[in-house]
């Protein structure tokens, strides 16, 4: 007989930022999702994502619990912080997690290519797969997928849109075109 699944309590808050509304979601293990847009705009996608990775879940608003993350993001947007602290609960395949961990090694204000990340994780031929994992990053900004550029230095797609990517790179005082 199959055991009933324990319900995972997820908490969220919505914050305003210079790149628009962001929804922060945390599990008991740590921050698990940052979404561009409002809570309502992303409701269906968020519920599918949570069901896929957590099974039975309950989602409750809790700004106080997520206040440290919100404060770090505020500091980042004011150029008062270059890196983030706190526990992350990464939900993805093992390959995706390797890519996301590699993204966190790209220094503030610098960029890397998909090829660079593929080589860094020991899969030099997996450039396209790295791009797919980058696209599925559940914690953008904090896991800096915006720092990925094309091999030729071109700006490539971004979940928050290219204007958001440009804003984040400019925020980090990156010279986009040398």
Residue numbers annotated as active site: 145
DSSP state, residue 105: T
Q: Which tokens is 51 given? A: 């069901």
Cβ contacts of 176 within 8 Å, gap of 6 or more: 155, 166, 169, 170
Please say whether the beta carbons of 150 and 165 come within 8 A.
Answer: no
Count of CB atoms within 10 A of residue 113's CB?
18
Residues 132-168 as b or e (16 or more Cβ within 10 Å = b): ebbebbbbbbbbbbbbbbeeeeebbebbbeeebbebb
């Amino acid at each position: 007989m199959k055991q009933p699944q324990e319900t995972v309590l997820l908490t969220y808050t919505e914050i305003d930022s210079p790149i628009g509304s962001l929804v922060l979601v945390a599990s008991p293990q740590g921050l698990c999702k940052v979404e561009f847009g409002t809570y309502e705009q992303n409701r269906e996608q968020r519920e599918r994502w949570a069901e896929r990775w957590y099974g039975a879940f309950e989602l409750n608003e809790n700004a106080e619990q997520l206040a440290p993350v919100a404060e770090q993001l505020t500091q980042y947007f004011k150029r008062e912080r270059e890196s983030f602290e706190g526990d992350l609960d990464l939900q993805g395949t093992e390959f995706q997690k390797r890519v996301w961990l590699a993204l966190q090694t790209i220094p503030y204000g610098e960029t890397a290519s998909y090829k660079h990340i593929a080589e860094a994780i020991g899969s030099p031929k997996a450039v396209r797969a790295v791009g797919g994992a980058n696209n599925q990053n559940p914690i953008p900004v904090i896991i800096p997928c915006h720092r990925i550029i094309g091999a030729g230095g071109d700006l490539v797609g971004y979940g928050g849109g290219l204007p958001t990517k440009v804003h984040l790179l400019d925020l980090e005082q990156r010279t986009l075109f040398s």
